[in-house]
Every structure is written in C-alpha cells, then in structure tokens.
Amino acid sequence: MALPHDDAWAGDPHRWMIALAATLASVIQVIDTSIVNVAIPHMMGELGASLDEIAWVSTGYIVAAVIVMPMSGWLAAYFGRKRYFAASILIFTVASFFCGASHTLGTLILWRLVQGVGGGALLTTSQAIIYEAFPRREIGMAMAVFGLGVMVGPTLGPTLGGWLTDAYSWPWIFYINLPVGAAAAAMVLAYVHDAEHHVKATTVDWLGIGLLILAIGSLQYLLEHGQGEGWFESGLITGLAVVSGTAMALLVWRELTIAEPIIDFKVLRHREMWVGTTIGIFMGVALFGSVFVLPIYLQSMLRMSAWQTGMVILPGAMATAFSMALSGRLVNRFDARLLIVAGISLFGVAMWQLSRMTAQTGADDFFWPLIVRGIGLGLMFVPLTNLTLQGLARTEIAAGTALSSFSRQIGGSLGIAALATLLTHHTRQAKAVLAEHVTLFDGASLERLGGLARGFQGRGMDAASAQQLAYTVLDRQLTAQASVIAFGKVFLASGAILVATLPLLLVVSAARPRPAGAGAPAMVHAE
C-alpha cells in the first residue's frame, strides 16, 4: 500500500478542496494583520480612543497570534488536527463578528485577542495539511496556490480595508471574514482528516506555555512600541528586552529537555530546516518591512489616497500571483536553490530601483520595480518552503511548518520596527546635512526665500508674515527632500538584508526535483 509521500501515492482524492479550504483560512488571517490599519482613524473617532489606546487593536491581535503560532503543531497533536483547525477557523470567525459589533474599546481589544488565538493556527496548520494531502509531484503547485494568498494578502489588505471603510464603515473589515470563514470551516469538516501518523500528546507543558507567553509577549510589545519610547532610553523597553531574552533562553532549554515539548526545536537539527528558517526570518524582515514602508511613501510623499495606493501596488501583487504559479511548476524541474537565488536577486534589484525614486516620481514610475519585486517574491516562496521541509520525517512536518511560519512572522515584526527606526534616523540625518547648505550666507537659499516671500506678499500678506511663512515652507521642503533620501536608504536596506542570506544556500544540499512520470511535471487539475 502506498503511503503519503511515497512516489506511488496519488494524493488525497479531495486534495484540491483541502487546498482551497486551507488557503481561504490563511488569506483571512494574513489580510487581517494589515486591513485594520487604514480604519484606525475611524475607530478612534467612534470609540473615543487615543492613538496609543487604539494601537492595542493591532498589537493585541498580533501578540496573541504570534504566541499561538509556534504551539500549533503541539495543539494539533493534542486535539487532533482536523478538530483543532476547524475550531481555530470558527474561533477566528466568531471573534470577527464580535469585533465588528463592539461599541467600546475594551470589548474590541478583548475580541481581537480571541481572534488572534484562532488566527495563530491558520497559517501553520494549513501548510502541514496541504503538504500531507498532495503527492510529491504536486506539492510545488499546491504550495504555490497557498503561497499566493499568503504573499498577496498583506499587499491587498490596506486597499480592501480602505474601500470597505470608505464605502460602508469600519465594522465591515471584520464582517467580511464571516462568509469566508464559514465556507473554510465547512470544507475542513467535510474533507480534512487527521494524519495516519497522528499520535495524541498526553501531557501539557504549562511551564513552557508560560515562558512562551512571557518571551513573545514582551518581544512583540518591545517591537511595537520601542520606537515611540525611544528604545533603550526607556527603562520599560530595556526591562522587556531582558525579560524576553531570558524567557526565550529558558524556553529553548525547557523544550529540548522534555518528552512532549510544545515547540519541537529538535527539527532544527536538519540543515535544510535551520537554513530555511533563517532565510525565512530575513524574508519576513524584507517583505513585511517593505510592505509597511511603501504605502507610507506613496501616501505621505506623493499624497495618494488608500485606494490610489492600492492601485499602484496591485500590478505587483498580480505579478506575484503569476510568478507563484510558475514557480510551482519550475520546482519540479530545477534545484530549489536556483529559484531562490533568482527570486532574492530580483527582489534586491527591485529595491535598488525603488531607492532611486525622487520627490518628482509619479505613480507610473513604480510599475516596473513593483512588477520585478512581485516576480521575485513569487519565485522565492514555494522553493523555500520545499527546501525547508524536505529533510523532515512525516511526523515532523507539523512542527516544521509551525517554526517556519513563526520565523517569518517574527521577522516581519522585526522588519517593521527596524525599518521604521531607520526611516526616522535617516530623515533626521539627511535634514541635518541639507540644513548645513541652507543658510543666510547661501545665495540660492536667499533667492528661494525671497521668491517665496514675494509670492505670499502678492497674495495680500504683510512683509513680516510673508517672510515667516517663507521660512516655514522652506523647512517643509527640506523635510520632504530628507524623507525622500531616507526612504531610498530604507528600500535599499530591505533588499540588502535579504541578498545577504544568499551564502546560506551553499551549506545545504541540492533540493531534488521530483518529476511526475518521464521527466515532466505533473499536469494539475482541480478535482
């Protein structure tokens, strides 16, 4: 009898329905991490909350999801993968309804925490389910379908959120999850089954869970609020860094020394696993960091609306979709390392192109850099997933996907925090340098000030007011030019961070292509 992942195994007869269910569940989870941001001003007005208070709507969800994410393999073993996955989707969906129905800030934050508990399992468990439902020759295409939602979701989230908020109201950014979540849960209950090798966990490592909550909760708060608190100038942030580092060290020691760990760090003994996980961290830094910075550039520097920003980003998202489908086919023919190198290189080129943008840049100038970036992202995801998991036994797949997804999420949080800090630093630095050349002894500066002042006087202002306004306008122009320089450096840094991981591919063996039949990739059809 052919077992899952034997070359003769044809796969689960309902595998494409399983892939659809898993992808739908993952899409709503990924989109929900970014869709809320554009509705923040509306929530503040209706709920009477300050910016610091409303930030917990995003922070609470992310903290809960990131804590659950690395435990999802153990939770699936304890409750059964089918029941745990279906329950997580239902928890996420029900919590979405109550988020939309919330009339106070406290209630909204509470249900966002619950939503994060459900959402934390969706990405990791989805990958394990898909990986075990498909035969070897079709895994590439299946992961391409899954990766399409995971990679495109963060890009489309702000656009969808902006449209729903403008056309309806902010609760609809949560209500939109209801039909999708219900459909995904129904398909999971109908088609997903527990793995043949499923062994129920018999103990609960409460100490490990406590250390995980302490480590990740402290780290996530540090990353979310460190910039506003001045990083290590703040005693709170310094204390959280110590707590997080100590708790993480104790967690790793604990999980490596007990029989049934909540996080199986032992899978990192496989060379491909630790290399793929490391690249995944930097991929999260580059992807989520650039996704965070790009809309800020388009909206603050080019004065685009949320909808216009989405339209600029959309072609790149479509390029990712095309590239993802292509890489799903190519992974059966070529060494995964070659595709990863190509993807990372294209991403680096795109970030270099974006770093050359100026204050006179228009929307059309972003088209090709974002297309190149999208193609690069699509070429990376599927081969990197296959490379990361290829050395694992079937019993280790759940733990491997949990750590892999967790690494990207942590990388994303690090990336957003790091690039936001770099953006502030480079803006101040560039403005200081520019200001050295704008003095009362510089002829061009005096000519510019005089022209501005005369223009304001021509509109009816008195000489003193016109001169003061001219200084204000010139200062704004300096800040704008400094910001352009800073954004360029940040775009370049996000590309360089990922390119720097390329040497890691030299320490792993060639990822073996798995042809279907006589050397050709399988033709995949939905069943």
Q: Are residues 80 and 224 in the same domain?
A: no
Residue 523 lies in a domain: no
Residue 249 burial (CB count, 10 A) = 12
Q: Are residues 239 and 325 in the same domain?
A: no
pLDDT category at 523 given cuts 50, 70, 90 is: very low
Residue 112 lies in a domain: yes
Closest to 266 (Cα-Cα) out of 414, 129, 73, 411: 73
Residues spanned by the domain of 43: 1-7+14-201
The per-residue pLDDT for range 37-59, each reduced to its tens digit, is 667 777 877 888 776 677 778 77
For tokens 């892999």, name the residue: 404
Phi–psi pair at 302, nearest 5 degrees: -105, 0
**Under a CB-based contact definition with an 8 Å cutoff, are residues 508 and 271 in contact?**
yes
**b/e map 319-337, b = 16+ CB within 10 Å:** bbbebbbbbbbbbbebbbb
Q: Are residues 275 and 423 in the same domain?
A: yes
Which parts of 297-366 fold into alpha helices (H)?
306-330, 336-354
Residue 525 lies in a domain: no
Q: Are residues 208 and 196 in the same domain?
A: no
Residue 39 lies in a domain: yes
Residue 524 lies in a domain: no
DSSP 3-state of 302? coil
Q: Are residues 37 and 160 in the same domain?
A: yes
pLDDT category at 110 given cuts 50, 70, 90 is: very high
User: What DSSP state is assigned to residue 516?
Assistant: B
- The angle at the Cα of 240, spanning 238 to 244, to the nearest 5 degrees, equals 120
Q: What is the pLDDT of residue 525?
A: 30
* Domain endpoint, select from 258, 279, 301: 258
Of the given ranges (180-184, 385-389, 449-453, 521-525), which has the lowest mean pLDDT?
A: 521-525
Closest to 524 (Cα-Cα) out of 136, 148, 125: 136
Q: Are residues 154 and 245 in the same domain?
A: no
Q: Are residues 139 and 46 in the same domain?
A: yes
Q: List, in order, residues 6 or more apart from 367 with CB less than 8 Å away.
A: 315
Q: What is the pLDDT of residue 442?
A: 59
pTM: 0.77
* Domain endpoint, select from 154, 178, 201: 201
Q: What is the pLDDT of residue 280?
A: 87
* Domain endpoint, select from 258, 273, 288: 258
**Under a CB-based contact definition with an 8 Å cutoff, are residues 489 and 293 in contact?**
no
Give percent of the chain above pLDDT 70. 86
Residue 32 burial (CB count, 10 A) = 28
Q: List, in order, residues 6 or more apart from 390 with CB less than 8 Å away.
A: 272, 511, 512
Of the CA atoms within 13 Å of residue 414, those in its CB half-sphere come to 16
Residue 526 lies in a domain: no
Q: What is the pLDDT of residue 321?
A: 78
The structural domain count of the chain equals 3
CATH of the domain at 28: 1.20.1250.20
Q: Are residues 231 and 367 in the same domain?
A: no
Q: Are residues 52 and 69 in the same domain?
A: yes
pLDDT category at 477 given cuts 50, 70, 90 is: confident
* Section 238-260 average pLDDT: 91
Q: Are residues 52 and 160 in the same domain?
A: yes
The per-residue pLDDT for range 117-139, each reduced to its tens digit, is 998 888 788 877 887 788 877 77
Residue 296 lies in a domain: yes
Q: Are residues 208 and 159 in the same domain?
A: no
DSSP 3-state of 520? strand
Q: What does the alpha-carbon distance between residue 80 and residue 78 come to, in Å, rounded to a whole number?
A: 6
Residue 241 lies in a domain: yes
Q: Are residues 55 and 68 in the same domain?
A: yes
Does residue 516 surpass a pLDDT of 50? no
